[in-house]
A and B are shown apart, each in its own frame.
Chain A
Amino acid sequence: GAVVSQHPSRVICKSGTSVKIECRSLDFQATTMFWYRQFPKKSLMLMATSNEGSKATYEQGVEKDKFLINHASLTLSTLTVTSAHPEDSSFYICSAPLGGGTEAFFGQGTRLTVV
């Protein structure tokens, strides 16, 4: 199947700093990518839709100034957690749909710990 690579897989940062997470589609182009957040023992919550060449679309309740999304190319989307706080600690996963959206492939996730 198609491959989506997410980097880094784990990151620990200090409160107040910013962290950038990358999501790359390795063998296909993705004009749209999705960013999810997963709380411990919880389902995945869609945070935002990343659109190549235009602004991201954020879900209700997600602060766009805190979670900056940039879709720089057809194979790369980045999520930057700005001024991180301990409550931002979570598992962040990106996905990219293939073709007409039949299948969505997920990155391996990023475990963010803010101390």
Chain B
Amino acid sequence: GEDVEQSLFLSVREGDSSVINCTYTDSSSTYLYWYKQEPGAGLQLLTYIFSNMDMKQDQRLTVLLNKKDKHLSLRIADTQTGDSAIYFCAIASSSNTGKLIFGQGTTLQVKP
């Protein structure tokens, strides 16, 4: 079945760049997503990338997609303490009806 893997924890210093990595198994996914979850809150859609793109940039966020290696990454430039949260990589299931398969989530800790 479809599977999404992420590293569980990342710690960076304020002002540095953060890179969160994700690998997946289903190559038929049309869309790949990054969500942010703050403590006790729901999920906030940060960005998504269409599978025929290699890169997407949105202000401090850069998403890189390597379809050959089935690898997705999220780079946060100039990381701030407010970026501390859990970041989930998600892929649309092969039926592409809005059903998402999530990674385990990467906890980003930003130290002042």
A contact residues vs B (CB 8 Å cutoff):
1, 6, 32, 34, 42-44, 46, 49, 93, 95-98, 101-109, 111
Contacts and interface: CB of A to CB of B under 8 A. Distances in A.
Interface SS of chain B: strand
Interface in B32-51: 33, 35, 40-45, 48
B43 A34 contact: no
Contacts of B45: 1, 103-106
Nearest to B105: A43
Given A93-B42, A102-B31, A43 B92 contact: no
Contact of A101 (B41, B42, B97, B102): B97
B40 A32 contact: no
Contacts of B31: 102
A101 to B, nearest CB: 4
Contacts of A1: 45
B11 interface: no
Contacts of B35: 106
B98 A43 contact: no
A111 B40 CA distance: 8
Contacts of B105: 42-43
Given A42-B104, A44-B88, A109 B96 contact: no
Contact of B98 (A6, A42, A101, A109): A101
A18 B93 CA distance: 31
Interface SS of chain A: strand
A106 B96 contact: no
The winner among B31, B43, B103 for most chain A CB atoms within 10 A is B43
B42 A6 contact: yes
Nearest to A111: B40
Contacts of A105: 45
Nearest to A44: B102
A104 B100 contact: yes
B42 A97 contact: no
Nearest to B107: A41
A22 to B, nearest CB: 14
